[in-house]
Amino acid sequence: MTVPSPKHVLGRDKYDAVLFDLDGVVTATNNNHFAAWKQLFDQYLKGRATREGAPFHEFTEDQMSEFVDGKPRYEGIRSFLESRGIELPFGDISDAEDTETVCGLGNLKNRFFNLSIQTDGVEVFENSINLIHDLRENGILCAVVTSSKNCQTVLHAAEISDLFDVRFDGNDAAELKLTGKPHPDTYLMAAERLGVDPARAVVVEDAISGVQAGRAGGFGLVIGVDRAGIAEALAQNGADIVVADLGELSA
């Protein structure tokens, strides 16, 4: 007889709200994002290597986790390019997709991502959806906090637009001129909109930059979701608990 593992309980006695990252936590869109990032960076790096007569080194999932995941799109581009010793002008958010600037590359990545959503759709993690319903039924507020500016598109495609009490995404952060993850600003603003004290709120993240943000914000509990084999890094960067799936949590 197999004895089930005890669940980590997010009780109303300790917590008033749980704030979830989107990609990789609620929706299985990390595959969509990786496909878009890889198409973007491999295309750009191949062209650059050809121009400079240098070897081409492809973009990998490990590099996505280290330099890109969880960060605002343009910051992720700058971070990865710096890791390759490449410095580009930031440009302007209105830059055309063929403009060799951080913004130009970011706008091209966004097109690749949206094409992936249209082609492949959006999958959700059922245990995550079940947990959110369970939390809300037990009087615990829920928010989605993401660097993505495509949050509403993803929620609509996944048919979960009404799942959260508060949605705070990359568009909100840009409007308020807030610094993205690993800074805690977006999580703190989401907690404020929920009307809860961060010390009585939980952050759930699958990105290193995300658990860093939760820790920096003074949240009562930071949970890392290890879907990419980075459990140790999540723990070292601020996660109090690391789980493989949100089925390990309960209200």
Active-site residue numbers? 21, 23
Helix (H) or strand (E) holding 142: strand 141-145
> Two tokens at 161?
């637009």
Helix (H) or strand (E) holding 214: helix 208-216
How far does the chain reach from its first CA to its final CA, in angstroms? 26
Q: Give the separation between CA 222 and CA 228, rounded to whole angstroms.
A: 18
Torsion over CA: 190, 193, 198, 204 (sign): negative
Q: What SS3 state is found at 153?
A: helix
In 10 A of CB 206, how many CB atoms? 27
DSSP, res 23: B
If we measure between CA atoms, which residue out of 28, 199, 237 comes closest to residue 129?
28
Q: Give the separation between CA 91 and CA 88, rounded to whole angstroms.
A: 8
> In one letter, which amino acid is 197?
D
